[in-house]
């Protein structure tokens, strides 16, 4: 998906202005409709740095949040203040990522928070009236209870706090009533003292407490060239090599392990990034989830349509031998697929072709998802299903070197078991390949 979906919707007052070829818009809307439907009643916790509200992209992001709310999402917006506070008091007050907050810093934090909340109220009010988005209200309150962080490695963190508890019932009922909730870093303890809480941590705690479907960190790191889907373990491994995202990747892994559906890390610089991430299959950012988002699994009859959609163009181009829907239905128990958000993006079959002999067939990866090892993973998985004594064949006109690279050697077609040889079409001239064991 090359279309910038956010661009289409942004600032159009609800009317779509064609900015690109019509069919692209139609395709984008078709793809987005499923995601929009899934947003209904879903709980989204979004973390955004306060200084972003001063630029156009940040303001459009808030307008997009309003649109997501109109699609039925329940939104909790958490204001980060790290950059703004660094500007006000310097980053020397940070110790291992944690601010040491004295009264002066706490006052600055409070001012930045208040200003951010007022900015959001203003943007939402303008959006509601000017962009035909309907009435939308934002509310703030004391749903998070703080406690002091205390002394760490001999350093008293003074007025820096951590989350002690969260009133999830209040947060859920307010979002259910259709209001956007705003939460800032300055929160009260049970003794009425104010504390400055690190907000990316707080966003994670809120997401866990309310059982959020999604936690979105709109962050200061550019998106990677290709969007990535990570398991919690991979996110933790990536944290070690990506310092700018290390903490959020760790939080994402923790959130997913504690029950949050998906965590999205998206660049706050990306105009429309929120829409592109949440309303398209491929997204633009880094996704951490525990589900089978990119899972390899055995196919079922429900997957036949998806497999046919994937291989039909390849059959038409002569890259795969045409086999027809019925044949796939009959053999479906021998097919394995990679599925991504309900779409079959790669497939392969392990067909029995005689006594202790199999053919690896119908190996295909959708062109948007090639070169990432999916076909190799399928091949490896299918070979693992066979016995060390079994013969494993593959027939190919244009991909024999790929099989060679994966341990297959060319052989005479007459090596095929009799029942398969009888169906071998010499006119097609497929190369016959046999897996070399050991």
Ligand X SMILES: CC(C)(COP(=O)(O)OP(=O)(O)OC[C@H]1O[C@@H](n2cnc3c(N)ncnc32)[C@H](O)[C@@H]1OP(=O)(O)O)[C@@H](O)C(=O)NCCC(=O)NCCS
Chain positions contacting ligand X, by CB under 6 A: 314, 319-320, 346, 363-365, 370-376, 396, 398-399, 401-402
Least spacing, CB of residue 383 vs ligand X, in Å? 13
- Residues forming a β-bridge with 360: 350, 394
Least spacing, CB of residue 28 vs ligand X, in Å? 25
Looking up tokens 């508890």, which residue turns up? Answer: 165
Tell me the C-alpha distance between 287 and 285, whole Å. 6
Tell me the C-alpha distance between 419 and 120, whole Å. 71
Sign of CA dihedral 287, 292, 293, 297: positive
Tell me the C-alpha distance between 231 and 253, whole Å. 8
Least spacing, CB of residue 432 vs ligand X, in Å? 12
Least spacing, CB of residue 322 vs ligand X, in Å? 13
Least spacing, CB of residue 236 vs ligand X, in Å? 25
Beta strands 94-95 and 74-80 are: unpaired
Measured distance between the N- and C-terminal CA atoms of the chain, rounded to whole angstroms? 42
Least spacing, CB of residue 423 vs ligand X, in Å? 15
- SS3 call for 430: coil
- In the bound state with ligand X, the residue whose beta carbon lies nearer, of 211 and 313, is 313
Least spacing, CB of residue 377 vs ligand X, in Å? 7
- In the bound state with ligand X, the residue whose beta carbon lies nearer, of 205 and 359, is 359
Tell me the C-alpha distance between 31 and 33, whole Å. 6
- In the bound state with ligand X, the residue whose beta carbon lies nearer, of 62 and 310, is 310
- In the bound state with ligand X, the residue whose beta carbon lies nearer, of 176 and 380, is 380
- In the bound state with ligand X, the residue whose beta carbon lies nearer, of 4 and 396, is 396
Least spacing, CB of residue 405 vs ligand X, in Å? 7
- In the bound state with ligand X, the residue whose beta carbon lies nearer, of 92 and 423, is 423
Tell me the C-alpha distance between 270 and 161, whole Å. 31
- In the bound state with ligand X, the residue whose beta carbon lies nearer, of 211 and 318, is 318
Write b or e for each residue in 108-129: b if 16 or more Cβ atoms lie within 10 A of its Cβ, otherwise e. bbbebbebbbebbbebbeebbe
Least spacing, CB of residue 34 vs ligand X, in Å? 24
Looking up tokens 């998806």, which residue turns up? Answer: 306
- In the bound state with ligand X, the residue whose beta carbon lies nearer, of 203 and 310, is 310
- In the bound state with ligand X, the residue whose beta carbon lies nearer, of 166 and 346, is 346
Least spacing, CB of residue 4 vs ligand X, in Å? 26
Residue 265, token pair as written in the block: 């890390």
Least spacing, CB of residue 420 vs ligand X, in Å? 14
Q: If you write DSSP's letter for every residue of 307-338 in order, what string do you get? A: HHHHHHHHHHTTSS---HHHHHHHHGGGEEEE
**Cβ contacts of residue 110 below 8 Å, gap of 6+?**
186, 194
Write b or e for each residue in 28-53: b if 16 or more Cβ atoms lie within 10 A of its Cβ, otherwise e. bbebbeebbebbeebbbbbbbbbbbb
What count of Cα atoms within 13 Å lies in the side-chain half-sphere of residue 339? Answer: 19
- In the bound state with ligand X, the residue whose beta carbon lies nearer, of 286 and 374, is 374
Residue 75, token pair as written in the block: 């939104």
Tell me the C-alpha distance between 428 and 423, whole Å. 11
In a 10 Å sphere around its CB, with 0-12 CB exposed, 13-18 middle and 19+ buried, how is residue 24 labelled?
Answer: middle
Closest by CA to 11, choosing from 151, 127, 113, 183, is 127
Phi and psi for 412 in degrees, rounded to 5? -70, 135
- In the bound state with ligand X, the residue whose beta carbon lies nearer, of 246 and 351, is 351
């Amino acid at each position: 998906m090359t279309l910038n979906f956010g661009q289409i919707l942004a600032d159009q007052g609800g009317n779509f202005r064609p900015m690109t070829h019509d069919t692209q818009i139609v395709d984008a809307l078709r793809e987005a409709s499923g995601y929009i439907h899934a947003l209904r009643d879903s709980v989204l916790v979004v973390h955004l740095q306060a200084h972003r509200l001063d630029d156009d992209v940040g303001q459009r992001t808030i307008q997009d949040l309003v649109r997501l709310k109109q699609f039925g999402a329940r939104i909790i917006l958490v204001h980060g203040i790290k950059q703004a506070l660094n500007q006000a008091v310097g980053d020397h007050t940070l110790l291992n990522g944690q601010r040491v907050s004295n009264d002066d810093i706490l006052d600055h934090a409070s001012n930045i928070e208040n200003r951010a909340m007022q900015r959001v109220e203003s943007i939402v009010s303008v959006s509601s009236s000017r962009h035909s988005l309907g009435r939308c209200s934002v509310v703030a309150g004391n749903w998070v209870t703080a406690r002091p962080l205390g002394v760490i490695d001999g350093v008293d963190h003074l007025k820096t706090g951590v989350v002690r508890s969260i009133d999830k019932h209040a947060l859920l009922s307010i979002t259910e009533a259709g209001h956007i909730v705003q939460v800032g870093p300055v929160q009260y303890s049970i003794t009425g003292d104010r504390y400055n809480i690190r907000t990316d941590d707080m966003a994670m705690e809120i997401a866990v407490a309310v059982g959020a479907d999604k936690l979105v960190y709109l962050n200061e790191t550019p998106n990677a060239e290709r969007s990535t889907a990570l398991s919690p373990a991979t996110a933790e491994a990536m944290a070690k090599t990506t310092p700018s995202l290390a903490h959020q990747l760790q939080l994402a892994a923790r959130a997913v392990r504690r029950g949050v559906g998906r965590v999205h890390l998206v660049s706050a610089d990306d105009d429309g990034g929120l829409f592109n991430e949440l309303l398209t299959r491929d997204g633009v950012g880094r996704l951490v989830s525990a589900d089978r988002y990119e899972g390899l699994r055995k196919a079922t009859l429900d997957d036949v349509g998806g497999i046919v959609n994937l291989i039909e163009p390849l059959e038409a181009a002569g890259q795969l031998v045409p086999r027809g829907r019925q044949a796939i239905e009959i053999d479906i128990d021998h097919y394995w697929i990679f599925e991504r958000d309900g779409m079959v993006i790669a497939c392969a079959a392990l067909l029995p072709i005689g006594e202790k002999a199999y053919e690896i067939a119908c190996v295909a990866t959708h062109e948007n998802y090639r070169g990432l090892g999916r076909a190799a993973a399928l091949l490896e998985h299918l070979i693992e299903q066979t016995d060390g004594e079994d013969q494993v064949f593959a027939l190919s006109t244009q991909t024999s070197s790929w099989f060679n690279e994966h341990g297959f050697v060319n052989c005479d077609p007459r090596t095929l078991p009799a029942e398969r040889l009888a169906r071998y079409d010499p006119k097609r001239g497929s190369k016959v390949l046999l897996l070399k064991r050991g």
